[in-house]
């Protein structure tokens, strides 16, 4: 008997699946070692379990993006592949911020990925990504593209709020953050 509650792919946190116009499903997730980003591709969702694992990017040895590589998501925007993920620094492991990779070709499994750096706030926005920020996602609604993320403000005992901003480009926000929700 098949366990309906069993994970599709074991030991992968923060899973993300994207179905592209090529009719393939693309999968990425946090890996147990939190030190690289992997992709899988399959014609079916169930096929992702045994699909080839392609390691497309590794954490830095020091500085930004050197610790806690978390919650990657793959998106196809403006004819290009992007991966959004959170990362911190070895010297400050909870200084998590959102980062962006861009594929330099049309095949995300074999083409080179370029680091675009940290997601940029809108001009004159002094609040976005200044504290523990993670789990960013991208979506479109009524012809506008948005970035949504969790950010813990106020230090260790602060609230982990959910924010939203319209995007100017795949790496920059257009509007200042808007708080959607805060825990009570």
149 pLDDT above the threshold of 80? yes
2 pLDDT above the threshold of 80? no
pLDDT tens digits for 42-93? 999 999 999 999 999 999 999 999 999 999 999 999 999 999 999 999 999 9
pLDDT of residue 5: 82
> What radius of gyration do the chain's Cα atoms show?
17
102 pLDDT above the threshold of 90? yes
pLDDT tens digits for 160-171? 899 999 999 999
Write the CA distances from 30 to 69, 70, 128, integer angstroms.
7, 5, 23
- Residues whose CB falls within 8 Å of the CB of residue 116, separated by 6 or more in sequence, listed in order: 99, 100, 101, 102, 170, 171
156 pLDDT above the threshold of 70? no
Q: Is 0.85 surpassed by the pTM of this model?
A: yes
């Amino acid at each position: 008997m098949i366990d309906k509650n069993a994970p599709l792919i074991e030991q992968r946190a923060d899973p993300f699946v994207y179905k592209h116009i090529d009719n393939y499903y693309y999968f990425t997730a946090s890996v147990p070692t939190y030190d690289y980003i992997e992709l899988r591709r399959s014609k079916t969702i169930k096929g992702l379990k045994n699909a080839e694992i392609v390691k497309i990017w590794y954490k830095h040895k020091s500085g930004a993006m050197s610790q806690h590589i978390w919650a990657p998501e793959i998106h196809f925007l403006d004819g290009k592949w992007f991966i959004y993920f959170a990362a911190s620094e070895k010297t400050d492991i909870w200084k998590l911020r959102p980062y962006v990779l861009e594929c330099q070709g049309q095949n995300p499994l074999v083409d080179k990925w370029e680091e675009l750096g940290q997601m940029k706030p809108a001009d004159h926005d002094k609040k976005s990504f200044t504290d523990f920020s993670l789990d960013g996602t991208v979506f479109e609604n009524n012809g506008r593209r948005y970035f949504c993320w969790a950010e813990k403000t106020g230090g260790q005992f602060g609230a982990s709020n959910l924010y939203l901003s319209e995007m100017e480009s795949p790496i920059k926000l257009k509007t200042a953050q808007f708080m959607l929700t805060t825990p009570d």
